[in-house]
C-alpha cells in the first residue's frame, strides 16, 4: 500500500471516530455497542500453544489497519487484544454468529465448546454435557440445541437447552457417526458415518410420543435406531427412509448444505474420494426431518442413485459431480461444490463445480483448483469483489505437487474463484494447510490461517497484504470476522 493510501485510510478512520465522539455515541452499526477494545473491525484467531503456560488462547486484531494493537500505540511487539476468561485447550474451529454477537469455539484438546460474547470480548460460558472429544459440533443460533458426533463412540450427542435446565441425550446408530450438518434456522440436523451409504437425523419427541415409545425398541416407530432414555425417551435418532420405509441409499454421504429458503437439504455424496462409486448431490426436502417436537411433516422421497438428470425443483434425484463433492456452499440459487478427482497419473486433483439450483444442472463444469486430502477438510467462504475463497489441507500431496511443471510450479492450498467471470486464481504462496478463512467484508480483504500463521490477501487480485503486525506466537488454526453484518460471513466447514 502506498503512503497516500495509508494517509487516506487513517483520515477516514479518524473522521469516523470523531463522528462517534462528537455525537456522544457508543454504537457503530446495527445498534451494536462499541466493544471495550474500541475496534469496529475485529478478526478473531484461535491459537494453539501460545506459550509454555497455556495450550490455547483467543486473540483478535484490528482488521482495518491490520495490526494487533491500537492504531496510536507506540509498540505492536506483543498482542494487546484477547478474549478474557477463555480456557479451552487447543482451540480449533469458530462458529461465527455476528448477528447474535456470539461465537462458539470448539477446543479439540479439552473437548469443550466455549461461547464468546463479542460485545464484552469475554468467554461467557462453556457448554456442559458433551461426551468426550467431538469429530463435528454445532450450536443453533438461539443456543437452544447443541449437536455433536463423538470421536470415540461415533454416537450423536444432543444437548437440549430449550428449557430451564439442560438435558443431554446420547443417540447411537448402526454406523459410527463422524460428520454432522445443521441448517441455518436450527431446525434440522443430519449425521453421516465413515464408509457408510446411509444418513441419520434426530427428532425431539412430544409428550405423547415419549409415552408411546417407553417400552423399548419394540415400541419405536419404523426407522428409529435409538431412543433415549429407554424408559422415558426425549429424543430418537432415525435412519433416513422413504415413504415405503425403505432406507435411502446414498454414495458415501459426508455432509449436507441447505437452500437459501431452508426447504431443501443438498446431501453431498463423496463417492470415489471416500471409497465410493460416484460423486454427486442429492436434494432432499427438510420438512420430514425437522427435529422440533411435533413439527416434522411429510415423507422423504425415494433416492434414484442411477438418475443421470435431476430436473428443476426435484428431490430424491441425483446430480452427478465428476469433479468430486466433499464440501459445498450455497449462494442464493447457486451451489459451489468442491472435491477431489482421481487423475490419470494416479494422484488426486482439486476441482470446483458450479450447480444452478434453479434447474438442478451443472452451470460451470469442474475447474482445477488447489488440491486437498480426498474426503478431507476444506474451507469455503464468499468475500468482496464477487470472490469465493477455498482453502485445502493436504495440498502438497496432490496432483499439482507431483506435476509442478504442468501447473506453473504452484501447489498452494488457497484458491480465489471469481463468481462473475468463473475464473480461478491460485495463490502462489505455500505457507501450508489452509485451516481457516475470514472474509473482512467491505474492506476488500480476507484473513487466513495457513500453516499455523495468519495471512492477509486482497479480494481485488489475490495479492498478499503485509501481515507483519498480525502474526501470532503459537499455532493459528482458525479465523473469523466477528464484526460482519451477517451470520453468512462464516467459514463453511
Domain that holds residue 18: 1-34
End residue of a domain, out of 297, 326, 356: 297
Task: List the grid coordinates of 3.
Answer: 503512503
**Does 100 fall in a domain?**
no
More reliable by pLDDT, 321 or 19: 321
Q: What's the pLDDT tens digit per position in 110-146?
A: 999 999 999 999 999 999 889 889 999 999 999 999 9
In this structure, the answer to whether residues 16 and 133 fall within a common structural domain is no
Residue 12 has pLDDT above 50, yes or no: no
pLDDT of residue 243: 93
Neighbours of 266 (CB within 10 A): 24
More reliable by pLDDT, 6 or 376: 376
Residue 9 has pLDDT above 90, yes or no: no
| CA atoms of 208 and 205, how far apart (whole Å) | 8
pLDDT of residue 20: 44
End residue of a domain, out of 297, 323, 350: 297
Residue 272 has pLDDT above 50, yes or no: yes
**DSSP notation for 123-163:** EEEE-----SSEEEEEE-TTSSEEEEEETTT-PEEEEE-SS
pLDDT of residue 407: 79
> How sure is the predictor about 31, in pLDDT bands with cuts at 50, 70 and 90?
confident
In this structure, the answer to whether residues 18 and 159 fall within a common structural domain is no
In this structure, the answer to whether residues 290 and 162 fall within a common structural domain is yes
Number of domains observed in the structure of the chain: 2
End residue of a domain, out of 297, 320, 349: 297
pLDDT of residue 376: 85
**Does 153 fall in a domain?**
yes
Query: Do the Cβ atoms of 322 and 273 come closer than 8 Å?
Result: no
Average pLDDT over residues 393-401: 90
Query: Do the Cβ atoms of 470 and 66 come closer than 8 Å?
Result: yes
**What mean pLDDT is reported for the chain?**
91
Residue 1 has pLDDT above 50, yes or no: no
Is-cis flag, bond preceding 87, omega within 30? no
pLDDT of residue 428: 75
Residue 190 has pLDDT above 60, yes or no: yes
pLDDT of residue 168: 97
pLDDT of residue 3: 42
Does residue 46 sit in helix, strand or coil? strand
DSSP-derived secondary structure letter, 16: H
| CA atoms of 374 and 65, how far apart (whole Å) | 37
Average pLDDT over residues 173-193: 96
In this structure, the answer to whether residues 160 and 24 fall within a common structural domain is no
**Does 208 fall in a domain?**
yes
In this structure, the answer to whether residues 4 and 134 fall within a common structural domain is no
**Does 151 fall in a domain?**
yes
Dihedral angle sign, alpha carbons of residues 311, 285, 191, 102: positive
In this structure, the answer to whether residues 139 and 242 fall within a common structural domain is yes
Residue 4 has pLDDT above 70, yes or no: no
Q: What's the pLDDT tens digit per position in 286-328?
A: 999 999 999 999 999 999 765 567 888 899 999 999 999 999 9
**Does 233 fall in a domain?**
yes
Query: Do the Cβ atoms of 491 and 62 come closer than 8 Å?
Result: no
Residue 385 has pLDDT above 60, yes or no: yes
Average pLDDT over residues 425-449: 92
Residue 221 has pLDDT above 90, yes or no: yes
pLDDT of residue 309: 73
pLDDT of residue 79: 74
Q: How far is CA 360 from CA 281, 313, 368, in A?
A: 9, 7, 22
Query: Do the Cβ atoms of 474 and 48 come closer than 8 Å?
Result: yes
Query: Do the Cβ atoms of 426 and 438 come closer than 8 Å?
Result: no
**Does 325 fall in a domain?**
no
| CA atoms of 241 and 289, how far apart (whole Å) | 11
pLDDT of residue 307: 57
Residue 361 has pLDDT above 80, yes or no: yes
In this structure, the answer to whether residues 150 and 18 fall within a common structural domain is no
CA-wise closest residue to 39 among 11, 72, 8: 72
Average pLDDT over residues 426-433: 82
In 229-331, beta strands by DSSP E: 235-239, 253-258, 264-269, 280-285, 319-320, 327-331
H/E segment holding residue 478: strand 475-481
Q: What is the CA radius of gyration of the chain?
A: 23
> How sure is the predictor about 25, in pLDDT bands with cuts at 50, 70 and 90?
low
> How sure is the predictor about 415, in pLDDT bands with cuts at 50, 70 and 90?
very high
**Does 304 fall in a domain?**
no
**Does 228 fall in a domain?**
yes
| CA atoms of 435 and 183, how far apart (whole Å) | 22
Amino acid at each position: 500500500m502506498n503512503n497516500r493510501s495509508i494517509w487516506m485510510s487513517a483520515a477516514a478512520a479518524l473522521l469516523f471516530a470523531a463522528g462517534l465522539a462528537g455525537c456522544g455515541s457508543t454504537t457503530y452499526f446495527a445498534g451494536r455497542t462499541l466493544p471495550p477494545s474500541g475496534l469496529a473491525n475485529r478478526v478473531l484467531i484461535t491459537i494453539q500453544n501460545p506459550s509454555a503456560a497455556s495450550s490455547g488462547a483467543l486473540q483478535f486484531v484490528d482488521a482495518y489497519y491490520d495490526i494487533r494493537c491500537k492504531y496510536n500505540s507506540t509498540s505492536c511487539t506483543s498482542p494487546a487484544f484477547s478474549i478474557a476468561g477463555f480456557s479451552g485447550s487447543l482451540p480449533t474451529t469458530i462458529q461465527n454468529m455476528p448477528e447474535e454477537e456470539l461465537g462458539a469455539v470448539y477446543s479439540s484438546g479439552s473437548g469443550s465448546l466455549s461461547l464468546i460474547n463479542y460485545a464484552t470480548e469475554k468467554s461467557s460460558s462453556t457448554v456442559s454435557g458433551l461426551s468426550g472429544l467431538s469429530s463435528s459440533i454445532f450450536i443453533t443460533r438461539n443456543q437452544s440445541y447443541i449437536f455433536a458426533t463423538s470421536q470415540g463412540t461415533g454416537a450423536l450427542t444432543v444437548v437440549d437447552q430449550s428449557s430451564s435446565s439442560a438435558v443431554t441425550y446420547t443417540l447411537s446408530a448402526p454406523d459410527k457417526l463422524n460428520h454432522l450438518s445443521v441448517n441455518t434456522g436450527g431446525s434440522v440436523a443430519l449425521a453421516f458415518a465413515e464408509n457408510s451409504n446411509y444418513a441419520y437425523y434426530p427428532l425431539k419427541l412430544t409428550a405423547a410420543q415419549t409415552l408411546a415409545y417407553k417400552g423399548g425398541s419394540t415400541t419405536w416407530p419404523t426407522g428409529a435406531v435409538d431412543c433415549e432414555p429407554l424408559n422415558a425417551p426425549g429424543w430418537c435418532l432415525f435412519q433416513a427412509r422413504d415413504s415405503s420405509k425403505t432406507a435411502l441409499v446414498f454414495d458415501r454421504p459426508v455432509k449436507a448444505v441447505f437452500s437459501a429458503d431452508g426447504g431443501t437439504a443438498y446431501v453431498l455424496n463423496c463417492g470415489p474420494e471416500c471409497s465410493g462409486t460416484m460423486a454427486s448431490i442429492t436434494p432432499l426436502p427438510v420438512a420430514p426431518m425437522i427435529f422440533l417436537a411435533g413439527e416434522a411433516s411429510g415423507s422423504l422421497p425415494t433416492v434414484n442413485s442411477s438418475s443421470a438428470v435431476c430436473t428443476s425443483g426435484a428431490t430424491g434425484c441425483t446430480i452427478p459431480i465428476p469433479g468430486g463433492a466433499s464440501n459445498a456452499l450455497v449462494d442464493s440459487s447457486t451451489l459451489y461444490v468442491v472435491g477431489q478427482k482421481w487423475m490419470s497419473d494416479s494422484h488426486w486433483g482439486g476441482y470446483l463445480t458450479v450447480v444452478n439450483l434453479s434447474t438442478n444442472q451443472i452451470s460451470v463444469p469442474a475447474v482445477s483448483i488447489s488440491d486437498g486430502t480426498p474426503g478431507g477438510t476444506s474451507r469455503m467462504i464468499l468475500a468482496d469483489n464477487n470472490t469465493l475463497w477455498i482453502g485445502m489441507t493436504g495440498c502438497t500431496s496432490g496432483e499439482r505437487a507431483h506435476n509442478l511443471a504442468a501447473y506453473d510450479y504452484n501447489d498452494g492450498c488457497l484458491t480465489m474463484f471469481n463468481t462473475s467471470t468463473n475464473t480461478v486464481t491460485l495463490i502462489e504462496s505455500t505457507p501450508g494447510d489452509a485451516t481457516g478463512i475470514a472474509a473482512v467484508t467491505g474492506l476488500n480483504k480476507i484473513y487466513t490461517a495457513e500453516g499455523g500463521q495468519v495471512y492477509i490477501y486482497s479480494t481485488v487480485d489475490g495479492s498478499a497484504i503485509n501481515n507483519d503486525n498480525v502474526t501470532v506466537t503459537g499455532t493459528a488454526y482458525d479465523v473469523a470476522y466477528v464484526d460482519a453484518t451477517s451470520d453468512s460471513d462464516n467459514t463453511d466447514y
